[in-house]
Amino acid sequence: MDRIPILKFGNALLVTIQVDMHDRLATALEEDLTSKIVEFGAKGVLIDISALEIVDSFIGRMLDNIAAVSRILDADTVVVGMRPAVAITLVELGLSLTGVKTALNVERGMALIHARLKTSDSDDDDEE
């Protein structure tokens, strides 16, 4: 079965979803991301959904799950590139995705992850 590739980008993981995922693929992605966060000690997960024309409640739940699991594993999740039509539809559907941070594109998403990492790093320095 095809699996969605996960790229390592510094201490972050980058996923670009470009296909209309069937449920098994979405579940596999959740599992793969979880194990990779642990394997690489990743501090950030960036999910690029700019190619997705449809995000339904199943995918929404997947994004929420990934964000929740990442948080437990001390990593931030940022979802980037949501299309306007998708955003409007998700709001109407009632999916708030409150546990998920968002950014306009990959560049901004990475900046967000690094900004948060900087803050926690400087906190550690103060304690020494």
Partner 1 sequence: MENLLQTIVDTEAEIAIIDITGVPTVDTLTAQHLLKTVAAARLMGADCIISGIRPQIAQTMVHLGVELNVVSKATLADALSVALERTGRAVIKLKKAAAVADQNRTPAEKGQ
Partner 2 sequence: MTTKSERLEIRSSDDVVRVRQLARTMALAAGLSLVDQTKIITAASELARNTLDYGGGGFVLAELVEGVGRRGLRLTFEDKGPGIGDVDAALKDGFTTGKGMGLGLGGARRLSNEFSIHSKPGEGTKVVIARWK
Chain positions contacting partner 2, by CB under 8 A: 20-24, 53-58, 60-61, 84-86, 88-89, 92-95
Count CA within 13 A, CB hemisphere, residue 25: 12
The answer to the question of residue 93 lying near partner 1 (CB under 8 A) is no
Q: Which is nearer to partner 2, 68 or 85 (CB)?
A: 85
In the complex with partner 1, the residue whose CB is nearer, 72 or 98, is 98
Compute the distance between CA of residue 50 and CA of residue 40 in angstroms, rounded to an integer.
Answer: 25
**What is the identity of the amino acid at 13?**
L
Q: Which of 85, 118, 120, 121 binds partner 1 (CB under 8 A)?
A: 85
Distance CA 22, CA 20 (A): 7
- Interface with partner 1 (CB under 8 A), residue total 19
Which residues are near partner 1 by CB under 8 A? 80, 82-88, 90-92, 96-97, 102-105, 108-109
